[in-house]
């Protein structure tokens, strides 16, 4: 019974979070619509629709690769240490794929930053 609860929780929590956000945003839109309809029924001028939020400044791609690389590398190191402590080196070597994947992301970040810096100099 306990073996199935952890995977179910890992999948259910993100779905629940997305569902709660969706419900909140749809309720907010419904409340705004009801306010506008009530104002129209009373003969008042309806309030303005809220303006769309302007998009934030887009960060360069290398920053995303750097952040992902650091997170994946550190998670891989943690998984390696945890597996090594519990099962030994043979099983722990399987987790090195995450460390290598993180290093690959860091390398991509390095080359993208280098390319961006070279394009600015021209």
Residue-wise pLDDT for 9-32, tens only, equals 778 888 888 999 888 888 887 888
Q: Please state the pTM of the whole predicted model.
A: 0.53
**Statement: residue 56 has pLDDT above 80:** no
Check whether 52 has a pLDDT greater than 70: no
- Give the chain's mean pLDDT: 85
Per the model's pLDDT, the better-predicted residue between 52 and 70 turns out to be 70
For the chain, which residues make up each domain, given as ranges? 1-52, 55-114
**Burial class (CB within 10 angstroms; exposed 0-12, middle 13-18, buried 19+) of 62:** buried
């Amino acid at each position: 019974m306990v073996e199935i609860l952890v995977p179910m929780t890992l999948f259910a929590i993100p779905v629940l979070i997305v569902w709660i956000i969706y419900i909140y945003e749809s309720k907010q839109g419904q409340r705004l619509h009801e306010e506008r309809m009530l104002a129209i029924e009373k003969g008042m001028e309806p309030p303005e629709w809220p303006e769309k939020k302007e998009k934030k400044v887009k960060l360069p791609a290398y920053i995303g690769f750097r952040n992902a690389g650091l997170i994946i590398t550190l998670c891989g190191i943690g998984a390696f240490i945890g597996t090594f402590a519990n099962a030994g080196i043979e099983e722990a070597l399987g987790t090195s794929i995450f460390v290598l994947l993180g290093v690959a992301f860091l390398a991509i970040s390095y080359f993208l930053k280098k390319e961006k810096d070279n394009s600015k100099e021209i």
